Amino acid sequence: MEGPVIEVRALTKRFREIVAVNEISFSVPPGNITALLGSNGAGKTTTLSLLLGLLIPTSGEIRVLGVDIRRDRYRALPRMNFTSPYVDLPHRLTAEENLRVYAHLYGIRDGPARIRRLASELEFEPMLRRPYGQLSAGQKTRVALAKSLLNEPELLLMDEPTASLDPDMADYVRSYLTAYQRRSGASILMASHNMAEVERMCTDVIILREGKIVTRGNPAALRAQHDRATLEEVFIDIARNAEGHSRRQASS
Amino acid sequence: MTDRPLALSARRVGGMVLRYLYLMRSSWPRVVELVYWPTVQMILWGFISKFLATNSWWVAQTAGVLISGVLLWDILNRGQLGVSLMFFEEMYARNLGHLFVSPLRALELAAALLTMSLLRTLISFTGAALLAIPLYHFSIYTLGLPLVVFFFNLIVTGWAVGLMVAGLVLRFGLGAESLAWVAIFALSPISGIYYPIEVLPGWLQTVAFFIPASHVFEGMRALMIEGVFRSDLFVNAVVLNLAYLGLGLLVFLGAFRAARKHGLLINIGE
């Protein structure tokens, strides 16, 4: 892919009086891992949902993989995928049954072989025949991650990909995703609250606050710009400045 | 809008049917439920028929008219529940977010729901109808080809109501799921399941004319009592069903669009 994998212009989403995403514009170049950061309610999940076409924007333009998502999302959806620990898979179906269903939905011809390979790589092969609802939170996260990689997406959107994983498995998943990105040349956009993870994996960071982009850059540039040693300190600075700003506004 | 919402992929529809078959395989109560209620209804109305056959001239003139009514009504009921309940499974599982970031279209989900409804209704109807043979020496299969015509007309009415209920529950949340259990019963008094439409007051007969099931049950009685297949009633039922199925699909697809506008596909719940 030559141009940006994601191109957003003046994107706004309102839910009645609440402006969840407020006139944001950004683009994501191909072959990057980009982080979408922000406090709770900053608009990260809404932005991901808009990019996936799960939400219809109030106004603005979204192009994903060169496709206008508002007009033609079904041309882009087979080439992208999504995972979030907050969106479930059916509990009564086994891990393998769930993955088989999604292999059908994504039109994957060698579905069973690909499922076995992913299960082996993500170390949940012994759990394939167990009902999804009986898996631990970490095991569920890995099955959902396998679901998101079934179609070998060119663009992978992730909402807190390592939430609920133990440090060892989280480290393994980060290495796996980084290797997948390098091997496939795919682009990844991930929302995360884990700053160490972002510093390790991402080459580009977008920080949202109250539905707007407040800053953007690679982790090293952001640390230098804010004169801080870690991205976590940068994040806290931005969040507390906003709270201070809100408090000042309230008291005046 | 160039999203071609009417395009269908047999592979994706098959994937969703597979999902529901896996679900049924994993849960025996879901399978028992399919045959339990139609069988209980058939047994109850079988005894009522037996009693009335000796005490009612109208029932006595043809055996099985009430049992046929019960069995055919259950096609409509099961047809609707098959669509609504399978759709609710996605909401209980909070799976709609994953489904609709895949290339699955709302119309493909609807096609899978209708396929599952057909399978579930065939299982429940066949079980109850076969049991009526040894219990009451009555076989609804003696109706022959018209039975197929009645079956499809009734199940299509059920599909139309089921799609509307699914759409409303998607739009207004699982708090509205009781609609699935009660919606179809609003049609029962004016469908003429157990009595001819002519017993209704004039204005209610006019309302009943617009219910496809009323034409099916009138047609059933014409066949069983007079021995004639009323093609006029058949045409009425088909035309009305096509209109209602179209309306059901519009409500279902419209609810998906509204869900995408209001952010309901991820945050679905009560």
Q: How confident is the model at residue B60 (pLDDT cuts 50, 70, 90)?
A: low
Query: What proportion of chain B, given as a percentage, has pLDDT over 70?
Result: 93
Taking residue A226's Cβ as centre, other Cβ atoms within 10 Å add up to 16
Phi-psi region of A173 (alpha: psi -120 to 50; beta: other; left: phi over 0): alpha
Token readout for B151 is 């079956």
What is the number of domains present in chain A?
A: 1
Tokens 């109305």, residue?
Answer: B45
Tens digits of residue pLDDT in B24-40: 998 888 888 888 888 88
Please report residues of A whose CB lies closer than 8 A to that of B89: 90
Position B1 in a domain:
no
Residue A71, Cβ density class (10 Å: 0-12 exposed, 13-18 middle, ≥19 buried)? exposed
Q: Quick check: B5 pLDDT over 80?
A: no
Query: In this complex, do A107 and B9 lie within 8 Å of one another by their Cβ atoms?
Result: yes
Q: Which of B16, B94, B263 sits opposite A15 (nearest CB)?
A: B263
pLDDT of residue A205: 95
Least Cα separation, residue A116 to chain B (angstroms): 18
Q: Which of A49, A55, A105 sits opposite B104 (nearest CB)?
A: A105
pLDDT of residue B61: 65
Q: Quick check: B1 pLDDT over 50?
A: no
Q: Is A71 within 8 Å of chain B by CB?
A: yes
The CATH number of whichever domain residue A70 belongs to comes to 3.40.50.300
Position A1 in a domain:
no
Tens digits of residue pLDDT in A160-198: 888 878 898 889 889 999 999 999 999 999 999 899 999
Q: Quick check: B106 pLDDT over 70?
A: yes
What is the number of domains present in chain B?
A: 1
Position A63 in a domain:
yes
pLDDT of residue B268: 53
Query: In this complex, do B3 and A74 lie within 8 Å of one another by their Cβ atoms?
Result: yes
Residue B47, Cβ density class (10 Å: 0-12 exposed, 13-18 middle, ≥19 buried)? exposed
Query: In this complex, do B89 and A84 lie within 8 Å of one another by their Cβ atoms?
Result: no
Mutation to test the B interface, candidates A104, A109, A157, most B Cβ within 10 Å:
A104
Tens digits of residue pLDDT in B211-240: 999 999 999 999 998 899 999 999 999 999
- Average pLDDT estimate for B50-73: 79
Query: In this complex, do A93 and B26 lie within 8 Å of one another by their Cβ atoms?
Result: yes
Position B269 in a domain:
no
Q: How confident is the model at residue B270 (pLDDT cuts 50, 70, 90)?
A: very low
| A70 closest CA partner among A84, A83, A55 | A55
Task: State which residue of chain B sits closest to A145, comparing Cα positions.
Answer: B98
Tens digits of residue pLDDT in B137-170: 889 999 899 999 999 999 999 999 999 999 999 9
**What range defines the domain where residue A61 resides?**
6-251
Position B71 in a domain:
yes
Tens digits of residue pLDDT in A14-30: 998 899 999 999 999 99
Indicate the average pLDDT of chain A.
91
- Average pLDDT estimate for A100-116: 95
Position A106 in a domain:
yes
- Average pLDDT estimate for B180-187: 85
Q: Quick check: B256 pLDDT over 50?
A: yes
Q: Structure pTM?
A: 0.89
- Average pLDDT estimate for A38-65: 94
**What range defines the domain where residue B20 resides?**
10-262
Q: Quick check: B242 pLDDT over 70?
A: yes
Position B92 in a domain:
yes
Q: Is A91 within 8 Å of chain B by CB?
A: yes
pLDDT of residue B62: 67
Q: A114 or A226: whose pLDDT is higher?
A: A114
Token readout for B126 is 């066949």
Please report residues of B whose CB lies closer than 8 A to that of A71: 1-3
Rounded CA-CA distance B187/B200 in Å is 13
Query: In this complex, do A77 and B103 lie within 8 Å of one another by their Cβ atoms?
Result: yes
Q: B94 or B214: whose pLDDT is higher?
A: B214
Q: Quick check: A59 pLDDT over 90?
A: yes
Rounded CA-CA distance B127/B199 in Å is 32
Indicate the average pLDDT of chain B.
89
Start-end of H helices in chain B: 10-25, 28-55, 57-60, 65-92, 96-99, 106-136, 145-172, 179-182, 202-209, 212-221, 231-262
Mutation to test the B interface, candidates A101, A134, A154, most B Cβ within 10 Å:
A101
